[in-house]
Structure 1
């Protein structure tokens, strides 16, 4: 499932995650931690891989088209559980 979100919205999700969330997401999805960081706008392609994130310049940081929303969905789930 693809999704379009602004870059700033994606960064707000990342910045709101509790400590250790990147490692938890990576572990549960069988990914490198740097790949999860790259999903949220990082650029470490030595240790991590690209994961279907396409950024188009524009307002609010530009538009980000996500080919796969699993990482975003997991991050939102962590945020929801953290609020409870």
Structure 2
């Protein structure tokens, strides 16, 4: 499933996650931690992989088109309390 979100909204979700969330998402999806950070518009491609996001310039940091919403949905579940993070 694809999604469109602003850059600033995506970063706000990442910044709102409790400590350990990025690691928990990475562990559950069997991904490198840097790959999950790259999903939230990080840029460590030496250790992490690209994750199918496309950024277009514009207001509110621009528009981000996500090719796969799995990580976003997991982050939203953590923030809503549907999913617990164990660190």
TM-score (norm 1): 0.95
How far residue 67 of structure 1 moved from its aligned partner, in angstroms, is 0.1
Which residue of structure 1 lines up, in the alignment, with residue 61 of structure 2? 61
Query: Is 1:27 aligned to residue 19 of structure 2?
Result: no
**How large is the Cα RMSD of the aligned pairs?**
0.9
Query: Is 1:47 aligned to residue 42 of structure 2?
Result: no
Q: d(CA) in 2 for partners of 1:53 and 1:35?
A: 12
How far residue 60 of structure 1 moved from its aligned partner, in angstroms, is 0.2
TM-score (norm 2): 0.92
How far residue 51 of structure 1 moved from its aligned partner, in angstroms, is 0.5
Which residue of structure 2 lines up, in the alignment, with residue 18 of structure 1? 18
How far residue 45 of structure 1 moved from its aligned partner, in angstroms, is 0.3
Which sections of structure 1, spanning at least 5 residues, go unmatched?
Answer: none
**Number of equivalences:** 82
Q: d(CA) in 1 for partners of 2:38 and 2:22?
A: 11
Query: Is 1:70 aligned to residue 70 of structure 2?
Result: yes
